[in-house]
Structure 1
Amino acid sequence: MADSVSETENPAIPSPTPERTRPRTNQDWWPNQPNLQVLHHNAPQPTPLSPGFDYKEEFKALDVKALKRDVFEVMTSSQDWWPADYGHYGPLFIRM
């Protein structure tokens, strides 16, 4: 049997020459992107809180029951401009 040069085993159809490809990147789809590297600089101060800030004491001062009521009210108050699923925004928050 003669050796065939075609991967299709049909001498009438030549094999395609494989081209070198690479995965597409955002630069391929949007070549005119602005350089956003300037936004990656770290802040000079790692935390905006003062050195004497006591997180534990501030948390004790928080009215957790009022916070829970407020969050529940926000999640169950359906808005005309974005109706809640079955009267509750919880499923939307999960999908987000």
Structure 2
Amino acid sequence: MDNKLAAAGAAAPQIQELTNPTESKCPVAHGTRAHTNRDWWPNQLNLHVLHQNSALSNPMGKEFNYAEEFKSLDLNAVVKDLHAVMTDTQEWWPADFGHYGPLFI
């Protein structure tokens, strides 16, 4: 019969296969952008205020070298001073239990 239709000039009926256009896509709806830290931690602190001062407001000046000044520091004296602050009782800072070091951390 196909030969008769083809000979008569009639077009053979086309069978279209119906497919679901979404069957090869991921079923989870993803956004068009990647996740940022703001997405994961929406309540994070805004640290941009720490960068609002210009270099002109630096009290140390351009010649100040932090690394050199740190090398000149007597670290044993610093440790001794910190130990005294954490253990010596003051009127405004009573060392009731002998040591308040964890409160400084």
TM-score (ref. length: structure 2): 0.41
| More helix, by proportion | 2
Structure with greater Cα Rg: 2
Q: TM-score, with normalisation over the residues of structure 1?
A: 0.45
